[in-house]
Chains A and B, each alone.
Chain A
């Protein structure tokens, strides 16, 4: 029997995903029509041995209840949400709920960061891990460019055994192009290593007169770095598609890949479709609209005559009026785009000319204090009037616009 743990953090995290995360918790933001972490759950559910999924985070339970119930029903698995009373860090939450993970004595468990998206090769990972009797943790690794590698956890491996000899999280200088994907297989004995790390934390807490949270623990720094060089930590390098979902811009990129993975979602097209496209069955789409590539249309959305949408996500109950164009944008729920309006962002995809390039999670502003061009985002309940242009802008929820905007954040 296997289990899976998905770490989703809490509302204090994922702020770079604003304003999208102001209305929907980031783990539930839909990509290719499915909430972000449903893709994790679907990957786990494909493994017959996987019997239980534990979601750990500090979002209020009420936010997660409906989703968990829906998932239970859809995948016929035990799925539970375990609420961290306070943010405990990537390791602290897992350690806090160690008994829940150990219950039923599984052979091992998957540990998945909630803010990544991938074509999760869980079976392959498990097989690899299973063949290393001394291994406590196997990390899914992938190749990055030299420049971008320093924004991730970097690993050095022994070539013959694939044991990780050195692990450093976000180094200041170049260490290795093999990076941690935030997807792991763990044996239950890892909790003993965590107990030791926890003890060290406690000792430090009391000797420093209560400085630093006693239960706070970083999985990467307090556990993985310790395990490196002990032949208990391994890494499997994969070439499957993988990306972090940090900024709102990365949602468009992730959407495209998830659409590619789950093709042929909609069987009978309501209008001209350039694949890949997801249209929720309850959306009303006029036959003269042209949609795609890379578009997700949510539940209850209305797309009027002569509308063009590409490289975008349109969230639930939004309305896109006649003749308008939406590209490289996220249209928030209950938002409205007026007729002949143009809502346009700038793609922030990885550099296609560089092998192994990842998304650049560029800061919101550049050195001159100007907004870096990125996808345009309409928060929930935003109204774009007719015949206006909204270019590379971010509109916070419930704003009624009355003119055109370019490269602005509209509060």
Chain B
């Protein structure tokens, strides 16, 4: 078994981390997006672990800002996995292709193909199958495509039965396909010769020409897929992820009389009496859920506290935040780090910046500075 995987061992990966993650504010005001925990694990760790599973030993992170805390924390976490981490810093944002040109030297050290992925994507990562599919067709690149319900919001991919891509259509007005680019690729180093070191979009300026040359193939993703770059999708992605966990590894999910449906609870969290938790809830380390709370479709991050009789649906509760007694929060409310919501308030779609104490209800969606 090891013998057959030997070639795969040399595969490298580049993750497009990009900028400040403004779409996931107010969470990303306290913590770089790759470190924001999705289902109790930093978003980036989901990807790195999947890459390591596929035998990747070298990961390059393309980052357009310096965050020493993040580099230190990630290097620590990743070293345990036996994979080396290199940071490639952009002095100006280079889009989705430019970072590949910037990392040209690192990627050119071998003739083996490498993985490229967008850092916001959460799915059942198909790296092994992707590498196999790529080697079988023998062309320059393969992109993973996924089926979506409303393709008109995205660019769709048209390809032949064997996977050879014919064309890309941006935001189609009439239905032509429901397959979109999932943001996961495998490319031969030869592709680097197509990319200049300037801000470039890989989707718009590189892939269409590769497709014209018959050098780009599509592989269909099995299972769920979500871009979790903004709060609403973060929660949807969490539901899909927990559902997938139920099917694949249900022992990781929490059981108990207070639990309904798929719920992930860190062992250091405590849950009071008479609560109803779930469906689709993630509770982080050191979180305290007091008696009689009801929580649905929500992520509670490390060290937060939900006090008695509170009711939460569709929320992200930031690190060390406190949700008061009899509080009702719903409709994609996001509390930043260390926010206090006083007792008995109603928060409807509030985006609350870090270290804020809220003493008045927020009946309509708004940003609280």
Contact = CB atoms under 8 A, between A and B. Distances in A.
Given A305-B274, A305-B292, A389-B328, A323 B344 contact: no
Interface string A315-347: 000000011010100000000000010101000
Interface in B274-288: 274, 276
A391 B292 contact: no
B294 interface: yes
A325 B311 CA distance: 10
A387 B346 contact: no
Nearest to B292: A306
Interface in A221-249: none
A132 interface: no
Contacts of B294: 323, 340, 387
A406 interface: yes
Interface residues on B, range: 10 to 19
Nearest to A391: B363
Residue of A305, A325, A389, A406 with most chain B CB atoms under a 10 A cut-off? A325
A197 B330 CA distance: 63
A406 B364 CA distance: 11
A214 B308 CA distance: 64
Residue of A308, A310, A323, A389 with most chain B CB atoms under a 10 A cut-off? A323
A308 B344 contact: yes
Given A325-B344, A387-B311, A308 B328 contact: no
Contacts of A391: 346, 363
Contact of A344 (B292, B325, B346): B346
Interface in B289-312: 291-292, 294, 308-309, 311
Interface string B170-188: 0000000000000000000
Interface in B10-53: none
Given A325-B344, A340-B294, A391-B346, A306 B311 contact: no
Interface string A376-411: 000000000001010100000000000000100000
Interface in A278-315: 305-306, 308, 310
Contacts of A389: 328, 330, 346
B326 interface: yes
Contact of B292 (A310, A323, A327): A323
A325 B291 contact: no
A327 B327 CA distance: 12
Nearest to A341: B311
Residue of B291, B313, B326 with most chain A CB atoms under a 10 A cut-off? B326
A306 B325 CA distance: 10
Interface in B318-369: 325-326, 328, 330, 344, 346, 363
A406 B363 contact: yes
Interface residues on A, range: 10 to 19
Contact of A342 (B274, B292, B311): B311
A308 B346 contact: no
A320 to B, nearest CB: 12
B193 to A, nearest CB: 58
A387 B329 CA distance: 11
Contact of A308 (B291, B309, B313): B309
A322 B309 CA distance: 9
Nearest to A325: B326
A228 B230 CA distance: 72
A308 B363 contact: no
A223 to B, nearest CB: 48
Nearest to B363: A391
Given A306-B309, A387-B311, A389-B346, A325 B292 contact: no
A110 to B, nearest CB: 42
A310 B292 CA distance: 19
A310 to B, nearest CB: 8
A308 B292 contact: no
B346 A306 contact: no
Interface string B84-119: 000000000000000000000000000000000000
B10 to A, nearest CB: 54
A327 B344 contact: yes
B328 A342 contact: yes
A310 B328 CA distance: 16
A408 to B, nearest CB: 13
Nearest to B325: A308
B279 to A, nearest CB: 13
27 contacts: A305-B274, A305-B292, A306-B292, A306-B309, A308-B309, A308-B326, A322-B292, A323-B274, A323-B292, A323-B309, A323-B311, A323-B326, A325-B309, A325-B326, A325-B328, A325-B344, A340-B294, A340-B309, A340-B311, A342-B326, A342-B328, A344-B346, A387-B294, A387-B311, A387-B313, A391-B346, A406-B363
- The list of the 7 closest CB pairs from A to B, nearest first, reads A323-B309, A306-B292, A325-B326, A340-B311, A308-B326, A340-B294, A306-B309
Interface of B: 274, 276, 291-292, 294, 308-309, 311, 313, 325-326, 328, 330, 344, 346, 363
Interface of A: 305-306, 308, 310, 322-323, 325, 327, 340, 342, 344, 387, 389, 391, 406
Given A310-B344, A342-B326, 9 more contacts: A305-B274, A306-B274, A308-B325, A323-B274, A342-B311, A342-B328, A344-B346, A387-B313, A406-B363
